[in-house]
Structure 1
Amino acid sequence: MNAFLHHAENRGHVQAGWLDTKHSFSFGSWYDPKYMGVSVLRVINDDTIAAHHGFGTHPHENMEILTCVLEGTISHKDSMGNERQITAGEWQLMSAGTGVQHSEMNNGDTPVHMLQIWIHPDVQDAEPNYQQIQCNPHQQPNQWHLIVGPNDNAAMHIRQQAEVKTAVLKKDHLLAVEATQQVNYVHVISGAIQIEDQIVKAGDALLFAENSEIKALEDSQFIWFDLPQAKN
């Protein structure tokens, strides 16, 4: 597999009143057949939600839905009986399974900035569940933080042979990428990094197959998706 740089400006940008969102992959009203996901990774939506607005109650099924709050606090409510606050530095994993209804609302006075990430499960029609953790990589920079994975070493368990890790890397520091699967996809939240000869800036992502090393060209935050080879 050759490396592929997904430039930030090639994301879909949708401004719909209270929601300003950038879609890494085709989603909702924005469709581009070149961007339909990577392996089992289907969605990365970079959402900014205005104060006192949000996503009303709506359904999902058979999807692993990971939320990373970067700024502000989002209020979650679902048909499993969970009513939770997710603040900056926290992560939520909702395994929709046979079906769940939920809402995500910004009840505060300032915007919420968050990432919504969808991963296809390897088990269909499982019982829905909810997990939430606090993991702010700014507090422990220059190392990987394993957010979700299929095994007990991960903070949250995902129904897929995939791992999601995050890091904040200070300028000129290095981090090794040592994959457990076949497909690597790094999405940069802020800053700029270098992987081999590729410069990956905020909003960009890089798809590559080989183990490698990440160098921070400036203070940077990013997410690494360690994914299985896509099935035909």
Structure 2
Amino acid sequence: MIKKIDYENMGKNKLSWLEATYHFSFGDYHNPENMGFGALRVLNDDIISGNRGFETHPHRDMEIVTYVVEGRLTHEDSMGNKGSIGKGQVQYMSAGTGVYHSEHNLEDQPIRTLQIWILPDKKGHTPDYGDYKFDWNARLNTWLHLISSKKGSAPIKMNQDVNFYALELESGKEIDLAVKDGRQAYLVQIEGVSIINQHILNERDGMKIVEEDVKIKATKTSHILVIEMAKNSGKTH
């Protein structure tokens, strides 16, 4: 099963400093039919104005990933961590029993990020933080494995059976994505235009894929993120 999710039909929120698009219910956008996809609970496509950001706020029992599309994002938290990441790089925080953090754009120009929340495999993990400065070219026409479970082989490991992959596919090139039995994936067409099993995905569109192999062809150089997970996962014990 595959289902294209049009950007125009997603939740939206516009503030003086933030332009947000919600793939799933979040904040003032509440759709009981769209509360997540397996372990994937939140995927927000955010444009943050220069010298603004999210002030210090709490989280608990959630695996939180921030992926920078353009610009540089600075993180600070109650565990004493502080750092910044740029285009194509990843910040990971396991909120566990509770943590406070802030995220800011300290530059003059707007930045774009994807903020992703994954339900953990259980409640009560010890809070943790890390970031990884992936080489942009490592995803050129190939899947770059960003995140895996603790048993997986990706540089970043989280408390859930999920895999994150990033890709920059040059115009005219093709690549396969196999979603095996018992697995599902959510794909974000971050930039560019691609054709996926006859579906045209434009910039910011999404796609749900369940137990189906797909072929991706870039008609315009495409920046893509895939979150692959166990089918119907997401129950926190």
Matching of residue 156 in structure 1 with residue 170 in structure 2:
no
Give, in whole Å, the separation in 2 of the partners of 1:69 and 1:208: 24
Partner of 1:208: 209
TM-score, normalisation: structure 1: 0.94
**Where does 1:19-34 land on structure 2 (aligned, <5 Å)?**
19-34=18-33
Partner of 1:59: 58
Q: Determine which of 216, 221, 224 is the counterpart of 1:222.
A: 224
The DSSP-based 3-state class of the residue aligned with 2:166 is strand
Deviation digits for residues 188-212 of structure 1 (CA, Å, limit 9, x no counterpart): 0011112212112111111122122
CA RMSD, aligned part only? 1.5
Question: 1:33 Cα deviation (Å)?
Answer: 2.3
Amino acid at match of 1:208: I
Partner of 2:191: 190
Give, in whole Å, the separation in 2 of the partners of 1:116 and 1:185: 14
For structure 2, which runs of at least 5 residues remain unmatched after alignment?
A: none
Give, in whole Å, the separation in 2 of the partners of 1:43 and 1:152: 22
**Where does 1:1-232 land on structure 2 (aligned, <5 Å)?**
2-138=1-137, 140-150=139-149, 151-179=151-179, 182-209=183-210, 210-231=212-233
The DSSP-based 3-state class of the residue aligned with 1:47 is strand
Is the CA contact (8 Å cut-off) linking 1:137 and 1:145 kept in structure 2?
no
Give, in whole Å, the separation in 2 of the partners of 1:69 and 1:145: 15
Moved over 3 A (4+): 136-140
Is the CA contact (8 Å cut-off) linking 1:70 and 1:114 kept in structure 2?
yes
The DSSP-based 3-state class of the residue aligned with 1:131 is strand
**Distance verdict in 2 for CA 1:48–1:184, change over 3 Å:** same
Is the CA contact (8 Å cut-off) linking 2:139 and 2:166 kept in structure 1?
no
The share of aligned pairs that are identical, in percent, is 34
The DSSP-based 3-state class of the residue aligned with 1:203 is coil
Give, in whole Å, the separation in 2 of the partners of 1:152 and 1:182: 15
Deviation digits for residues 131-175 of structure 1 (CA, Å, limit 9, x no counterpart): 111124456410000110013410100111110101000112111
Give, in whole Å, the separation in 2 of the partners of 1:78 and 1:48: 21
Give, in whole Å, the separation in 2 of the partners of 1:112 and 1:148: 23
Question: 1:34 Cα deviation (Å)?
Answer: 2.8
Is the CA contact (8 Å cut-off) linking 2:170 and 2:218 kept in structure 1?
yes
Is the CA contact (8 Å cut-off) linking 1:141 and 1:167 kept in structure 2?
yes
Question: 1:51 Cα deviation (Å)?
Answer: 1.2
For structure 1, which runs of at least 5 residues remain unmatched after alignment?
A: none
TM-score, normalisation: structure 2: 0.92
**Distance verdict in 2 for CA 1:152–1:33, change over 3 Å:** closer
